Amino acid sequence: MTVLSVAVETPRHTRVAGLLDYASEQPLAPGTLVRVPLGRREVPGIVWPRPADAEPTEGLRPLAAALTSLPPLGAAWRELVEFAAAYYQRGVGELALSVLPPELRKLDDTQLARRLKRLAGAPPPAAGAPPERPSLSAEQAAALEALAGERKPMLLHGVTGSGKTEVYLRAADAALAAGGQALVLVPEINLTPQLEARFAARFPDRRMVSLHSALTPAQRLRHWLLAHSGEADLVLGTRLAVFASMPRLALIVVDEEHDPSFKQQEGARYSARDLAVWRAHRLGVPVLLGSATPSLESWQRVQEGRYRRLPMTQRIGGGAMPRVRLVDMSLLPRDDERVIAPPLQAAIAERLQRGEQSLLLLNRRGYAPVLHCGACGWKSGCPHCSAWRVFHKLDRTLRCHHCGLSEPVPRACPECGNLDIAPIGRGTEKLQEQLAALFPQARVGRLDADSTRGEGRLEQQLQAVHAGDVDILVGTQMLAKGHDFRRVTLVAAVNPDTALFSSDFRAPERLFALLMQAAGRAGRDAEQAARSEMWVQTWNPRHPLYAALRAHDYEAFAAAQLAERRAAGLPPFASLALLRADARTADAASGFLADASLLAQAHEGVTVYPAVPPHVSKVADVERMQMLVESASRVALQRMLAAWLPQLNEVRAGHKGLLRWAVDIDPLAI
């Protein structure tokens, strides 16, 4: 009989810690998947190294089963999980099991052995014609040269179209040639097919797998197993892929490293970008963070000399960045129905005449954000959330974008019976309608979460844009991301100002990145670049953010933002954690946070801010409150959280109305 420590899915901060002891007939290597009894259930677990100071124990329950056909999860993978669990304050077993493919928990050893055998039998990709490789630009060559000799994380700071992907491809080539595996992370599933196609074309004789949440459970298992067994050389995926088990990992690429999608928004709220940097550092392999508008966290690390910047300032083919034109809306006669200022309208008309395309960005889907009764003042609020229900004209519904409640639009005001209820404000549906009215001869398309719902819809719509079947494309930020549109010579942000005055200190950073990225959609063909324009309709044309945009000057923008952040003691100059409480009533949520705040007073080196409701305080009849904890030192914050969170778990019993609490380390949305 041997004693084994097993990581099981018990949340941390409860009496049962992450590791439990079991008896086993035979010794099992750490990293072996097992099934163990827990209470009356049988749960999956992973054999973990037994702590050296563990007490000898007797009368232990035996393991239920060991899945020995699967090669054990390696030490490097377990260290990554341990680090992430400690940093994000979760249980080791909870995190470890949540990042494995769900199918792995369901199969028994025989089924698993069969899957593995089938994988081993699959023929390797056929060696096709040797791929064409463009000769490198001077900047690409310099970046790759730096990459070869550098141990620091590298920030590939390249404007849109500067050829960052070619640098990823060459870096991957070097890693694969040396017998390694390469991991490439992208922010969104929508962007994986394009990148996958480019990698597949470059490495026709290599096996590549994708890992993201849109795969079927069987696909995800298959892809994960191929990576884990070392059969796949390339793994391309979204944030969850940062936890892929890759025994020969030799390179990590994080494309669009500034994108908020790399932060998980539930459970262990990890940052895949930050974990990628940690993982690469631990393994001593290169990590390449690519962006045209790096996160201020990464940029500050470059300033401190902890990351190395690899600049790429020229577009391939020499095209200029589009000219930025600000329309001062405050100078125009007031007109609530005006969508598009006359000069922008004229600029779009010019594109129509030349057969070029225009992209119009509006970050609000639906027809109008709210319906309103002029007689009694009724507005289309959601009964379950502190938010308006959005009017969708196409299917005549009022929809809550927070809880999903959807109802037919009432014929008359539900309060007073007035027949004349009207939409206020404008969403993408309305913008599309208004543009169609302004330009009756144009084909006006729309790209947002509504228009792309359903299998293959997004690809279809993108295809239509590429084929030239659309003259004007209206859409949300989805438009700005990565799509390589060739005939676009005008991009316009219709109403971006709101982000300038948001209470979230990261809103300007996100807006700047979005506008720069959108601008990058225009003039990707060098010959069109000269007449490409980015238009911004604004009531604040003198805002420094727009001045920096106009000059395509990321560095000036970053310097100004960082100066503000430093003065205000905000990240990256301080570390934050956000404690969230969800409850039946706002009082119950506040009560818990008040107790938490009292307990926090005993801990040094941190500042605890008053509890406040988030932007949308009630969702689906749950009241939410949140409280920010800040420290100038990441280590001090970590130490404080490790002591404080178990205390919170104890006081929680005294708060009956509390539904759940959670802590978000390095929160992105505040």
In the complex, which residues of this chain contact Zn ion (CB under 5 A)? 373, 375-376, 378, 382, 384-385, 400, 402-403, 405, 413, 415-416, 418
| Backbone angles phi and psi of 19, in degrees to 5 | -110, 135
What is the DSSP secondary structure assignment for residue 471, as one 8-state letter?
Answer: S
If the CB atoms of residues 315 and 506 are measured against ligand ADP, the closer one turns out to be 315
Partner interacting with residue 161 (select from Zn ion, ligand ADP, none; CB below 5-8 Å by kind): ligand ADP
Instruction: Pick what 384 binds: Zn ion, ligand ADP, none; C-beta below 5 to 8 Å, kind-dependent.
Output: Zn ion
Report angle CA 125, 197, 532 to the nearest 5 degrees.
165
Q: Can you tell me the distance from the alpha carbon of 524 to that of 231, in angstroms, rounded to the nearest whole number?
A: 37
Q: Which is nearer to ligand ADP, 139 or 582 (CB)?
A: 139
Q: Which is nearer to ligand ADP, 396 or 486 (CB)?
A: 486
Cβ neighbours of residue 580 under 8 Å, at least 6 residues apart? 614, 624, 625, 626, 661, 662, 663, 664
Contact criterion met (CB below 8 Å) for 600 and 607? no
d(CA 427, CA 367): 5
Which residues neighbour 39 within 8 Å (Cβ) at sequence distance 6 or greater?
none
Nearer Cβ to Zn ion (253/619): 619
- Residues 486, 590: Cα–Cα separation, whole Å: 52
Cβ proximity to ligand ADP, 423 vs 523, nearer residue: 523
Q: Least Å distance between CB 130 and ligand ADP? A: 17
The smaller minimum CB distance to ligand ADP, of residues 78 and 309, is found at 309
Residue 166 CB, shortest distance to ligand ADP, in Å, is: 4
- Structure-derived torsion over alpha carbons of residues 398, 401, 402, 408, reported in degrees to the nearest 10: 20
Which three-class secondary structure string do you get for 1-56? Answer: CEEEEEEECCCCCCCCCCEEEEEECCCCCCCCEEEEEECCEEEEEEEECCCCCCCC
Q: How far is the CB of 366 from ligand ADP (least distance, A)?
A: 31
Nearer CB in complex with ligand ADP: 273/624: 273
Within 8 A by CB and 6+ apart from 615, the residues are 503, 504
Look at residue 413 and give the partner it binds from ligand ADP, Zn ion, none, a contact being a CB closer than 5 to 8 Å depending on partner kind: Zn ion
* Dist. CA 126–CA 204, nearest whole Å: 7
**Partner from Zn ion, ligand ADP, none contacting 158, C-beta within 5 to 8 A by type:** ligand ADP
Nearer to ligand ADP, 428 or 517 (CB): 517
Question: Which partner from the list ligand ADP, Zn ion, none does 378 bind, CB cut-off 5 to 8 Å by kind?
Answer: Zn ion
CB closer to Zn ion out of 13 and 399:
399
Q: Which is nearer to ligand ADP, 162 or 528 (CB)?
A: 162
The CB-of-266 to ligand ADP minimum distance in angstroms stands at 30
Closer to Zn ion by Cβ: residue 418 or 638? 418
Query: 3-state class of 131 per DSSP?
Result: coil
Contacts for 270 with CB less than 8 Å, ≥ 6 apart: 84, 87, 88, 239, 242, 263, 264
CB of 377 to Zn ion, least distance (A): 7
- Least CB distance from residue 421 to ligand ADP, whole Å? 46
H or E stretch including 661?
A: strand 658-665
Indicate which of ligand ADP, Zn ion, none lies near residue 160 (CB less than 5 to 8 Å, by partner kind). ligand ADP
d(CA 164, CA 157): 9
| Cβ at position 312, least distance to ligand ADP in Å | 7
**Nearest to 95, CA basis, from 296, 249, 243:** 243
Using the minimum distance from each CB to ligand ADP, give the nearer residue, 316 or 438.
316
546: tokens are: 């727009």
Q: Which does 342 bind (CB under 5 to 8 A by kind): Zn ion, ligand ADP, none?
A: none
Picking from 86, 100, 75, the residue whose alpha carbon sits closest to that of residue 18 is 86
Answer positive or negative: Cα dihedral of 521, 522, 526, 528. Answer: positive
Which of ligand ADP, Zn ion, none does 623 bind, CB closer than 5 to 8 A by kind?
none
Partner whose footprint covers residue 166, from Zn ion, ligand ADP, none (CB < 5 to 8 Å by kind): ligand ADP
Q: Which does 382 bind (CB under 5 to 8 A by kind): Zn ion, ligand ADP, none?
A: Zn ion
Comparing CA positions, the residue from 503, 501, 466, 497 lying closest to residue 483 is 466
Q: Which two tokens stand for residue 23?
A: 């008896």
Entry field: residues in the chain: 670
Q: Would you call 59 exposed, middle or buried from its count of C-beta atoms within 10 A (0-12, 13-18, 19+)?
A: exposed
Q: How far is the CB of 372 from Zn ion (least distance, A)?
A: 9
Helix (H, G, I), strand (E, B) or coil at 122: coil
Name the amino acid, one letter, at 536: V
What is the nearest approach in angstroms of ligand ADP to the Cβ of residue 196?
A: 14
403 binds, among Zn ion, ligand ADP, none (CB under 5 to 8 A by kind): Zn ion
Residue 316 binds what, of Zn ion, ligand ADP, none (CB under 5 to 8 Å, by partner type)? ligand ADP
Smallest gap, in angstroms, from Cβ of residue 668 to Zn ion?
23
Minimal distance, residue 374 CB to Zn ion, in Å: 8
CB of 302 to ligand ADP, least distance (A): 18
Residue with tokens 């922008």: 344
Minimum separation from the CB atom of position 397 to Zn ion (A): 13
Find which of Zn ion, ligand ADP, none residue 140 binds, CB within 5 to 8 Å per kind.
ligand ADP
Q: Which is nearer to Zn ion, 180 or 381 (CB)?
A: 381
Sign of CA dihedral 577, 581, 586, 590: negative
Q: Considering beta carbons, is residue 313 or 330 the nearer one to ligand ADP?
A: 313
From the CB of 260, what's the least distance to ligand ADP, in Å?
Answer: 19
Q: Are strands 607-608 and 622-631 parallel, antiparallel or unpaired?
A: antiparallel
Q: How far is the CB of 301 from ligand ADP (least distance, A)?
A: 21
Q: Which does 376 bind (CB under 5 to 8 A by kind): Zn ion, ligand ADP, none?
A: Zn ion
Query: What sign has the CA pseudo-torsion 127, 128, 129, 134?
Result: negative
- Please give the Cα distance from 182 to 248 (Å, whole number): 8
DSSP 8-state code for residue 477:
G
- Please choose which of Zn ion, ligand ADP, none residue 134 contacts, taking the beta carbon within 5 to 8 angstroms, the exact cut-off set by kind: ligand ADP
Q: Contact positions toward ligand ADP, by CB under 6 A?
A: 134-137, 140, 158, 160-166, 316
The residue among 110 and 135 lying less far from ligand ADP, judged by its C-beta, is 135
What is the greatest pairwise CA distance in the chain? 85
